[in-house]
Structure 1
Amino acid sequence: MQFKHLLYLSPLFLYACQLPTNQAKVIQTTVSDSVSVCHVGAIPSRFAPQDRNLVQYGGTGKDGVKMVFIQGGTFKMGSNSFPDAQPIHDVVVSSFYMDEHEVTNRQFAAFVKATGYVTLAERPLDPKEFPDADPAMLVPGSAVFTPVSDATSLSDYLQWWSYVPGANWKQPEGPDRTIKGREDHPVTQLAYQDAEAYAKWVGKRLPTEAEWEYAAKAGKHVNETYYWGTEKKEKGRWLANIYQGEFPKQNSKEDGFETTAPVKSFPSNAWGLYDLEGNVWEWCSDYYKADYYATSPKTNPKGPAESHDPQEPGMVKRVQRGGSFLCNDQYCERYKAGSRGKGEVNSPTNNVGFRCVQDIKQ
């Protein structure tokens, strides 16, 4: 089924954001969570690999992206701060290669040019799937975040998400704004199947959420607030592309960006990987199930056999990781270490992208 929820026609699907833990109500929505190029500058030594020569690269794909060798091992997976990320448990992950950054508009454009692939957001909608809808409204498009100056409640996410006709990966916010000049920003507005198709074409795959979290934690302890440590800034510089200001009314853009940032604009983690928190949510291959950690296997877990979200049991969801440029402590805390996101597989938005991994050939 294509783009299951037109925001005009039905309640918005649930997503991976949540209010601060001291508030009674948790709001989760699937709509996962102009930009000048602004690089942070020298990478603070505390967050960079102690010796860049120790970062090993390998793997290969048609996109030519550098892939970091991730040495397998055992780690503590999960977080005590989020119910669906409990219990914290030991997981063994085999070695693999991971893209050093999120897939960019430039890379996705090369895939489309070579294959003629058409993303879900660009395809016509089937009137049979929306029998009660005005046919004039059934045009290709996708969900776009729009700041709302008079938002009255963080529980009403329909205030800041809109279905925009013509929104797709080539024009993430709609027809009036293209990706020209943003070729090195992460590609967005992709359904799960779009990301999977790209990964297959370049000879890679999407990561499991265990692989993703293992790589993001980079050997750090389980009690870190963020994947890099406990503070959001180092020497006055923001360490990730997240939301500053009063959500969803005013983004103060203290980190230099209103929406996506060019990949590698912020410091890498200790293993040479960029943007594992903020910028865009990243699709993982696992189906989402809220209680999966209670029964997941210890070695190379690949997720449950099927999706189940108790808040929306009829929807098929996959795990998303890392948060986006919309994450902040007011509303969306799931960019923090060990937390899990989720997204309906046929519902692209302008703050969800992906990166790829590759198995090591024996």
Structure 2
Amino acid sequence: MADTPAPSAEKLRQAAPISSGTALDPIRVPGGRSFVGTNSPEIPVDGEGPERPVTLRDFALEATTVTNARFADFVAATGYVTEAERYGWSAVFHSDRESLDAATRAGSQLPWWHKVDGVSWRHPEGPDSSLEGREDHPVVQVSWRDANAFAQWVGGRLPTEAEWEHAARGGTERRRFPWGDEEPNDHDAIFCNIWQGRFPDLNTARDGFVRTAPARSFESNPLGFYSMSGNVWEWTHDAFRVRSVSRAAKQRNAYALQHSEKVLKGGSFLCHVSYCYRYRIAARMAMTPDSAGSNTGFRVAYDVQ
């Protein structure tokens, strides 16, 4: 995103919610000794490994990502204005051949991502798009700061990366995906909403969805959480860091610190094993806290007694 100043603490206080929201389907997750990361990373540069032990307190996490309908309630109650709305643009995925070719000619390394004016959570693909029929889909085009504002409204917070992984696994069992270790495919093993076909120009949508799916889609994991693999990336509380002493890792960490990057988990409907194999539990991504996109959302965690 552009280097537009973040709202001051005083402005945030002035924009405080005029009424409080409520939690929706939080699931209590037992804490204790657990772990985060993996000793078998697929994308080492992302800092997926090594596996490291953590101790977690009991916490609660909502069963689904926050939907368009709930976010609309938040905005109606508080008058909140998202960062994408204030910037006037955001990133949108377009994979038609004309768009891909034009972006490639312009030198883009990611020609499927486009800066589109008039994009917001209300109009996730552009000013001519709407949320009609997608009220129960995850809200997208929300930044880390937007997600935190909503979480505070309902009395919660964003989960840590370790909490997110612990919940996605259903505890301490080592599993590659929320449903187990079986790799999804384009035919008979469809467990989540990811890209199917040839990325980026052919999506067969065998899972039934070209973009987002309803937040409560496919089977839940053993603890009752939905779509923790694919659908939308989910913001976490944590700052992004690669745990390595290599020169490349030090440079990556310096960049992440300079830009205040945060960790996202779970992958999205754009992930594919040939391009973005990040719908695994240990996978991760980094973005600046003011960034948003058509495949980025969040779910809410809570402290428990």
CA RMSD between the two structures? 2.6
Unaligned runs of 5+ in 1: 7-60, 126-139, 295-306
Aligned pair count? 276
Secondary structure of the corresponding residue to residue 119 of structure 2: coil
Is 1:316 the equivalent of 2:260?
Answer: yes
2-side partners of 1:329 and 1:77: how far apart?
A: 22
Partner of 2:291: 347
Partner of 2:228: 276
Partner of 1:243: 195
Is 1:101 the equivalent of 2:49?
Answer: no
Moved >6 Å (runs of 4+): none
The aligned amino acid for 1:227 is P
Q: Kindly tell me: are residues 253 and 206 of structure 1, through their superposed partners in 2, closer, same or farther at Cα, counting changes over 3 Å?
A: same
Is 1:85 the equivalent of 2:33?
Answer: no
Deviations 1:279-324 (A, max 9, x none): 0000001111112799xxxxxxxxxxxx964566642210000000
Shift of 1:64: 4.3
1-side partners of 2:239 and 2:125: how far apart?
A: 28
Q: Kindly tell me: are residues 203 and 335 of structure 1, through their superposed partners in 2, closer, same or farther at Cα, counting changes over 3 Å?
A: same
TM-score (structure 2 length as normaliser): 0.83
Q: Kindly tell me: are residues 308 and 200 of structure 1, through their superposed partners in 2, closer, same or farther at Cα, counting changes over 3 Å?
A: farther
Deviations 1:120-148 (A, max 9, x none): 0111x4xxxxxxxxxxxxxx011000014
1-side partners of 2:169 and 2:69: how far apart?
A: 28
Q: Kindly tell me: are residues 293 and 261 of structure 1, through their superposed partners in 2, closer, same or farther at Cα, counting changes over 3 Å?
A: farther
Q: Kindly tell me: are residues 241 and 111 of structure 1, through their superposed partners in 2, closer, same or farther at Cα, counting changes over 3 Å?
A: same
Shift of 1:340: 1.6
2-side partners of 1:328 and 1:311: how far apart?
A: 26
1-side partners of 2:82 and 2:168: how far apart?
A: 28
1-side partners of 2:210 and 2:255: how far apart?
A: 30
2:29 to 59, 70, 73: 70
2-side partners of 1:166 and 1:291: how far apart?
A: 38
Is 1:143 the equivalent of 2:102?
Answer: no
1-side partners of 2:61 and 2:96: how far apart?
A: 37
Cα pair 1:145 1:161 within 8 Å, conserved? yes
2-side partners of 1:228 and 1:171: how far apart?
A: 32
**Greater mean deviation of Cα atoms: 232-241 or 161-170:** 232-241
Q: Kindly tell me: are residues 70 and 292 of structure 1, through their superposed partners in 2, closer, same or farther at Cα, counting changes over 3 Å?
A: farther
Shift of 1:72: 0.9
Cα pair 2:241 2:256 within 8 Å, conserved? no
TM-score (structure 1 length as normaliser): 0.71
Partner of 2:156: 204
2-side partners of 1:207 and 1:200: how far apart?
A: 12
1-side partners of 2:263 and 2:195: how far apart?
A: 22
Secondary structure of the corresponding residue to residue 142 of structure 1: strand
2:166 to 214, 219, 224: 214
Partner of 1:231: 182
Partner of 1:26: none
Partner of 2:8: none
Deviations 1:201-247 (A, max 9, x none): 1111000111001111113533x332322224499251110000111
Secondary structure of the corresponding residue to residue 158 of structure 1: coil
2-side partners of 1:283 and 1:263: how far apart?
A: 15
Partner of 1:189: 141
Secondary structure of the corresponding residue to residue 330 of structure 1: coil
Secondary structure of the corresponding residue to residue 284 of structure 1: strand
Shift of 1:158: 3.4
If each structure's helix is expressed as a fraction of its own residues, which one has the higher value?
2
Partner of 2:10: none
Partner of 2:77: 114
The aligned amino acid for 2:198 is E
Shift of 1:4: 2.0
Cα pair 1:142 1:164 within 8 Å, conserved? yes
Q: Kindly tell me: are residues 260 and 63 of structure 1, through their superposed partners in 2, closer, same or farther at Cα, counting changes over 3 Å?
A: farther
2-side partners of 1:292 and 1:212: how far apart?
A: 22
Is 1:330 the equivalent of 2:287?
Answer: no
Cα pair 2:240 2:256 within 8 Å, conserved? no
**Alignment identity in percent?**
41
Cα pair 1:86 1:293 within 8 Å, conserved? no
Unaligned runs of 5+ in 2: 5-19
Partner of 1:29: none
The aligned amino acid for 1:257 is F
